[in-house]
């Protein structure tokens, strides 16, 4: 072979590397697109793979069928790449138009609302992907044919090199799309990047194809013993069957490993990208290793047999390492800092675990197709084998996905599923050894028998311990659940592994090791925070609309569904859950959730929520959305502007949407992206805190959210739950209201986050990182516990306490209220000592000191000495008590005769305390500025109190220009760094918006003049 020819071949190698890069970007991005339409049920996940891989098979088969008709295969390859790139440029627009049409017309007209599968939905998805998939399937046979026509001297080497480079490019494509492109430019931009790569490859291939090669002659026939074992055509069929079965086993491995490693790495999009990249990298290394040996091997079939046996044993050997990987991950989690650098180390560790689990077997898998193809090139099949081998291998892969997901995993679990794949490969190895030497001795087949023995050993000796898989090591850093905990339910479902864990205090249900709900089942233990969240998710919307029907997205523990069924007006509740094992496992929470199973009004549907709603004709008065955390792969699509727009279509006019959001393991920028997505469809919503870690967003279709109707709390069937949670007092609900959209939307807009979208999944990738770094959105809690009643004055939704109530302190606001009543009693001198914390102890000392000055200033410390303590008490008492109670508490102090003994300039501080208690914006502004004008110290609690009071009064009185100047010029003078950040951010957002506010700062009780309940 001359040098120019070799150079052309090497340029084709480079082009095919780029083609592999673009091809896996397509698979990754198309999966994102199609899952948006089909949802993330097992059927949808299977269909994505089936359509994509099936298209590859069809493309390969068609190319092999007409292989000899291509006079210039490289020119045909150029056209295939060009058309693929052009279709990719148009894909986004076509997908959006097609799915909108389907939701509006196709699904309601052609699908059974009660079914879990819709043929028309599958067909449309297949039509969207099939053209590009078929074209991609044609690339390998065409490129291989072109290379071999130029030179067949090193046929095995060149075929293996093509496998290697294409797989290596695919690995880089997966990593680039998942870690760089999609987070930076979204799905359309990533798709266009791959499209331009295709167009560049097409141009390069077209230039190289100007000189057509001669048709490929049949290579020298094999001299291996298999030819004498039977007809060569029968041998071809056997080898094609091997190609299909090894594809089947490989994808059984992939499905099993993904499920196993999700419990170690977490089920985030980042983890899935690393798993897929590791799998493909193994294929690439296998192709690279075999390329220098394939032409010189004396017995291709025997080598293939040994590779199959080694692959099966290597896959089985992942079981003991899988158990050790929990300890490895636990060590890393406990050793690295939860910051950006630690996240890099976490991903490197995750990659290492993926490689150690997957590489040994996938390297073998990367050798199989080059060996089979090379051998069949030396048969009468000749050039046709290039496409046929690839086609049957991909068809086998489809069967592997279907069998693993829908048959083996639910029936026998993940370990047995993996062992089935191993048994297939070892059996193939044994069969090939017999085929290679039909009259050979048993000694010649010892590798197969050794493989069988190893397989039996791993199957019997290695146990898949649910105490490890349920530990959530990627979050907790614990390789096993504690000895005091027990696994009372364990099931490998179609989409996730579900466990129910019993501890001393509560019972929790987990998916892939991540807790989704926890309930205190034993008497004598306080309710969990999750119980508050799950209960209020249902109670709050019932207090905003008198509903006849409702839907719940996500079963969880089943508690929210059961709470909805306590309403005497509810006639039907549809609960949509993807994973059947979740519903089965949640039976462990009976009798608290018994209504979800036993009440005839309850209907449980196993499906993706978007698909189910689109197929049905139902419209609901209430829709409750409580999916898993958005960092779980695919779940973030239930937090996008497209989802909220679509969900609104399934609400009756005036219907209420209840959305769970968490503030743990998420940063403010991410929460802002979700809130902005909600506001696109529901511009007037109301936010409640259930516990400090969770919030519930209440929105109403076509109307303001209105106020909560406390009559709901008197439903007879609801009483046991409310009594258990101590939520029977209406103020226990009102005290959890944070603010309306008029405050929350401008506040979160200041973070500059993009709106979370299906096609620009800002939340999906950001939460994958924040789940590790563990930030917390403290801003809403800061606003509720602010030293000045900013929420009450600027919005009015947040209601301070009017009386003490027997509540569990599950929020900072409740703790503040409890402390406020204690300090109020100390100010008035009417309470007995109820010190419960060191913080309260110090507060009571300060309150007592303030009261002593007001009652006997001649013997008490001077006002200047008492003033810091007085402000400390005011920061707690005033914002946490209803205005009349706050005024009553401070009356003995601000009206004390001792007022006449202090410097007139210091009267401003007493006026300020009184003005804030009265929620009187005029007094707050005047006295706050006056107090600051005489303040000469460094920024302190006192100056911050006066500054915040004055700034709040200006915004509340719609004196926005004055507020902007004051905040801009005086903040650094009177406020310490890192203090009052949430309050100042809110005031800046409102002051800089130039939109007049409906506020209450005229000395009233703080009732808002905003929207009322229009029920």
Contact residues for 846 (Cβ-Cβ < 8 A; gap 6+): 823, 869, 870, 872, 873
Residue 1012's pLDDT is 29
Provide the mean pLDDT of the chain: 87
Spatial contact of 95 and 128, defined as CB atoms under 8 Å apart: yes
Residue 156's pLDDT is 78
Q: How far is CA 811 from CA 532, 740, 769, 783, 786, in A?
A: 11, 19, 26, 13, 14
DSSP state of 660: E
Residue 41's pLDDT is 44
Give the pLDDT confidence of 490-514 residue by residue, as tens digits.
999 888 899 999 998 899 999 999 9
- Helix H or strand E encompassing 352: helix 340-377
Residue 927's pLDDT is 96
Residue 836's pLDDT band (boundaries 50, 70, 90)?
very low
- The sign of the dihedral angle between the CA atoms of 859, 861, 863, 868 is negative
CA separation for the pair 151, 634 (Å, rounded):
46
Coil, strand, or helix at residue 623? strand
- State yes or no: pLDDT of 294 exceeds 90: no
The two tokens of residue 206 are: 């077209």
Q: For the residues 587-615, what does the mean pLDDT come to?
A: 90
CA separation for the pair 10, 14 (Å, rounded):
6
Residue 237's pLDDT is 87
Residue 14's pLDDT is 93
CA separation for the pair 822, 240 (Å, rounded):
81
More confident residue, 861 or 34: 861
CA separation for the pair 601, 107 (Å, rounded):
25
For residue 803, the Cα-to-chain-centroid distance in whole angstroms is 41
- The sign of the dihedral angle between the CA atoms of 212, 213, 217, 222 is negative
CA separation for the pair 396, 190 (Å, rounded):
29
Q: For the residues 279-300, what does the mean pLDDT come to?
A: 84
Residue 1007's pLDDT is 35
Q: How far is CA 457 from CA 306, 408, 426, in A?
A: 19, 21, 14
Spatial contact of 94 and 3, defined as CB atoms under 8 Å apart: no
What is the rounded (10 degree) CA torsion for 155, 157, 163, 167?
-160
Give the pLDDT confidence of 177-221 residue by residue, as tens digits.
988 999 999 999 999 999 999 999 999 999 998 876 665 554 444
Residue 216's pLDDT is 53
What share of the chain has pLDDT > 70, as a percent? Answer: 91
Closest CA to 584 of 608, 558, 610: 558
Q: Is the pTM of this model over 0.75?
A: yes
Residue 810's pLDDT band (boundaries 50, 70, 90)?
confident
Residue 103's pLDDT is 80
Across 866-900, b (16+ Cβ under 10 Å) vs e yields bbebbbbbbbbbbbbbbbebbbebbeebbebebbe
Total Cβ atoms within 10 A of residue 637: 25
Q: For the residues 511-536, what does the mean pLDDT come to?
A: 91
Residue 188's pLDDT is 94
Please report, for the chain, how many H helices and E strands are present, in that order. 40, 12
Spatial contact of 200 and 779, defined as CB atoms under 8 Å apart: no
Neighbour-count burial of 233, counting CB atoms closer than 10 A to its CB (0-12 exposed, 13-18 middle, 19+ buried) = exposed
Contact residues for 893 (Cβ-Cβ < 8 A; gap 6+): 827, 850, 851, 853, 854, 870, 910, 913
Q: For the residues 767-796, what does the mean pLDDT come to?
A: 92
Residue 542's pLDDT is 96
CA separation for the pair 413, 494 (Å, rounded):
10
- State yes or no: pLDDT of 292 exceeds 70: yes
Residue 812's pLDDT band (boundaries 50, 70, 90)?
confident
CA separation for the pair 657, 659 (Å, rounded):
6
What share of the chain has pLDDT > 90, as a percent? Answer: 56
Closest CA to 863 of 823, 907, 820, 825: 907
Residue 321's pLDDT band (boundaries 50, 70, 90)?
very high
Cα 892-895-900 angle, rounded to 5 deg: 125
Coil, strand, or helix at residue 549? strand
Residue 375's pLDDT band (boundaries 50, 70, 90)?
confident
3-state secondary structure 32-75: HHHHHHHCCCHHHHHHHHHHHHHHHHHHHHHHHHCHHHCCCHHH
Coil, strand, or helix at residue 840? helix
Coil, strand, or helix at residue 871? helix
Please list the residues that pair with 920 across neighbouring strands.
1002
Q: How far is CA 234 from CA 57, 251, 438, 922, in A?
A: 22, 26, 15, 96
Give the pLDDT confidence of 695-706 residue by residue, as tens digits.
999 999 999 988
CA separation for the pair 921, 794 (Å, rounded):
11
Residue 382's pLDDT is 66
For residue 283, the Cα-to-chain-centroid distance in whole angstroms is 29
- State yes or no: pLDDT of 1010 exceeds 50: no
3-state secondary structure 771-818: HHHCCECCHHHHHHCCCCCHHHHHCCCCCCECCCCCCCCCCHHHHHHH
Spatial contact of 169 and 18, defined as CB atoms under 8 Å apart: yes
Residue 581's pLDDT is 94
- DSSP character string of 159-203: HHHHHHHHHHHHHHHHHHIIIIIHHHHHHHHHHHHHHHHHHHHHH
Closest CA to 343 of 775, 763, 770, 632: 770
Q: What share of the chain is helix, strand, coil (3-state, %, to 5)?
A: 65, 10, 25
- State yes or no: pLDDT of 589 exceeds 90: yes
Residue 67's pLDDT is 65
Residue 218's pLDDT is 47
Give the pLDDT confidence of 429-456 residue by residue, as tens digits.
988 988 877 665 556 667 778 888 998 9
Residue 43's pLDDT is 54
Spatial contact of 271 and 175, defined as CB atoms under 8 Å apart: no
- State yes or no: pLDDT of 691 exceeds 60: yes
For residue 300, the Cα-to-chain-centroid distance in whole angstroms is 46
Please tell me the total number of residues recorded for the chain in this structure. 1015
Spatial contact of 636 and 763, defined as CB atoms under 8 Å apart: yes
Range with the largest mean pLDDT of 94-98, 104-108, 392-396: 94-98
């Amino acid at each position: 072979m001359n040098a120019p020819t070799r150079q052309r071949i090497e340029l084709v190698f480079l082009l095919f590397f780029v083609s592999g890069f673009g091809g896996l970007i397509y698979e990754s991005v198309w999966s994102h697109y199609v899952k948006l339409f089909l949802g993330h049920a097992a059927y949808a996940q299977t269909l994505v793979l089936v359509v994509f891989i099936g298209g590859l098979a069809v493309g390969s088969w068609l190319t092999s069928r007409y292989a000899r008709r291509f006079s210039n295969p490289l020119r045909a390859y150029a056209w295939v790449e060009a058309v693929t790139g052009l279709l990719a440029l148009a894909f986004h627009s076509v997908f959006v138009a097609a799915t909108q049409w389907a939701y509006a017309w196709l699904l309601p007209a052609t699908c059974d609302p009660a079914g879990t599968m819709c043929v028309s939905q599958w067909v449309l998805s297949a039509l969207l992907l099939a053209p590009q998939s078929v074209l991609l399937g044609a690339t390998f046979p065409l490129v291989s044919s072109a290379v071999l026509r130029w030179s067949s001297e090193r046929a095995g080497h060149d075929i293996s090199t093509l496998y290697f480079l294409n797989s290596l490019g695919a690995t880089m494509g997966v990593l680039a799309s998942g870690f760089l492109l999609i987070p930076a430019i979204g799905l359309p931009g990533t798709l266009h990047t791959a499209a331009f790569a295709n167009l560049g490859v097409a141009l390069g291939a077209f230039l190289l194809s100007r000189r057509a090669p001669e048709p490929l002659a049949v290579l020298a026939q094999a001299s291996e013993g298999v030819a004498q074992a039977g007809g060569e055509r029968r041998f071809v069929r056997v080898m094609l069957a091997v190609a299909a079965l090894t594809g089947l086993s490989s994808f059984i491995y992939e499905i099993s490993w993904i499920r196993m490693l999700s419990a170690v790495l977490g089920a985030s999009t980042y983890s899935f990208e690393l798993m897929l990249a590791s799998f493909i990298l193994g294929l690439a290394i296998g192709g690279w290793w075999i390329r220098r040996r394939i032409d010189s091997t004396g017995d291709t079939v025997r080598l293939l047999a040994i590779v199959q046996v080694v692959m099966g044993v290597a896959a089985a050997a992942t079981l003991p390492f899988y158990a050790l990987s929990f300890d490895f991950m636990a060590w890393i989690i406990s050793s690295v800092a939860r910051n950006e650098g630690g996240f890099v180390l976490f991903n490197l560790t995750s990659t290492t675990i993926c490689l150690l689990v997957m590489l040994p077997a996938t390297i073998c898998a990367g050798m199989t197709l080059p060996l089979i193809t090379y051998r069949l090139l030396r048969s009468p099949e000749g050039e046709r084998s290039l496409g046929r081998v690839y086609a049957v291998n991909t068809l086998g892969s489809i069967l592997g996905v279907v069998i693993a997901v829908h048959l083996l995993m639910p029936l026998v679990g993940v370990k047995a599923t993996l062992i089935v794949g191993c048994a297939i490969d070892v059996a193939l190895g044994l069969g090939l050894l017999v085929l290679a030497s039909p009259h050979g001795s048993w000694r010649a087949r010892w590798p197969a028998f050794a493989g069988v023995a190893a397989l039996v050993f791993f199957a019997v000796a290695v146990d898949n311990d649910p105490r490890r898989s349920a530990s959530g090591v990627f979050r907790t850093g614990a390789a096993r659940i504690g000895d005091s905990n027990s696994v009372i339910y364990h099931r490998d479902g179609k989409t996730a592994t579900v466990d129910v864990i019993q501890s001393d205090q509560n019972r929790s249900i987990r998916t892939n090791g991540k807790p989704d709900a926890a309930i205190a089942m034993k008497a004598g233990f306080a309710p969990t925070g999750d119980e508050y969240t799950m209960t209020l998710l249902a109670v709050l919307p019932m207090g905003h609309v008198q509903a006849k029907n409702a839907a719940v997205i996500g079963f969880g523990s089943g508690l929210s569904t059961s709470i909805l069924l306590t309403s005497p007006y509810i006639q039907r509740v549809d609960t949509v859950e993807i994973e059947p094992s979740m519903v089965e496992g949640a039976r462990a929470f009976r009798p608290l959730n018994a209504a979800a199973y036993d009440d005839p009004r309850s209907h449980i549907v196993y499906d993706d929520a978007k698909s189910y709603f689109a197929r049905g004709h139902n419209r609901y008065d209430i829709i409750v959305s409580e999916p898993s955390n958005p960092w779980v792969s695919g779940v973030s699509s239930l937090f996008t502007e497209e989802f909220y727009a679509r969900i609104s279509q399934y609400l009756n006019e005036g219907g209420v949407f209840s959305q769970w959001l968490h503030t743990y393991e998420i940063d403010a920028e991410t929460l802002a992206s979700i809130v902005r997505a909600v506001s696109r469809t529901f511009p007037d919503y109301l936010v409640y805190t259930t516990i400090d870690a969770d919030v519930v967003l209440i929105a109403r279709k076509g109307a303001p959210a209105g106020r909560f109707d406390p009559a709901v709390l008197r439903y007879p069937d609801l009483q046991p739950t409310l009594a258990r949670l101590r939520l029977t007092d209406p103020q226990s609900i009102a005290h959890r209201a944070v603010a309306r959209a008029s405050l929350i939307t401008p506040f979160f807009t200041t973070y500059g986050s993009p709106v979370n979208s299906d096609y620009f999944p800002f939340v999906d990738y950001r939460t994958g990182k924040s789940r590790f770094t563990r930030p917390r959105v403290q801003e809403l809690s800061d606003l509720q516990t602010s030293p000045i009643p900013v929420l009450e004055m600027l919005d009015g939704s947040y209601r301070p306490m009017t009386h003490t109530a027997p509540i569990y302190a599950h929020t900072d606001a409740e703790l503040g209220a409890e402390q406020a009543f204690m300090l109020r009693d100390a100010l008035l001198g009417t309470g007995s000592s109820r010190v419960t914390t060191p913080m309260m102890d110090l507060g009571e000392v300060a309150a007592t000191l303030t009261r002593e000055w007001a009652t006997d200033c001649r013997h008490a410390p001077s006002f200047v000495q008492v003033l810091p303590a007085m402000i400390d008490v005011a920061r707690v008492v005033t914002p946490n008590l209803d205005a009349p109670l706050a005024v009553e508490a401070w009356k003995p102090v601000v009206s004390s005769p001792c007022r006449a003994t202090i410097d007139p300039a210091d009267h401003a501080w007493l006026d300020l305390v009184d003005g804030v208690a009265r929620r009187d914006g005029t007094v707050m502004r005047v006295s706050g500025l006056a107090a600051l004008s005489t303040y000469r110290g460094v920024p302190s609690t006192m100056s911050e109190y006066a500054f915040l009071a004055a700034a709040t009064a200006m915004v509340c009185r719609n004196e926005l220009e004055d507020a902007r100047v004051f905040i801009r010029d005086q903040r650094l003078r009177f406020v310490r760094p890192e203090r009052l950040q949430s309050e100042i951010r809110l005031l800046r957002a409102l002051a800089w918006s130039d939109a007049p506010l409906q506020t209450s700062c005229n000395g009233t009780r703080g009732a808002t003049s905003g929207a009322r309940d229009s029920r």
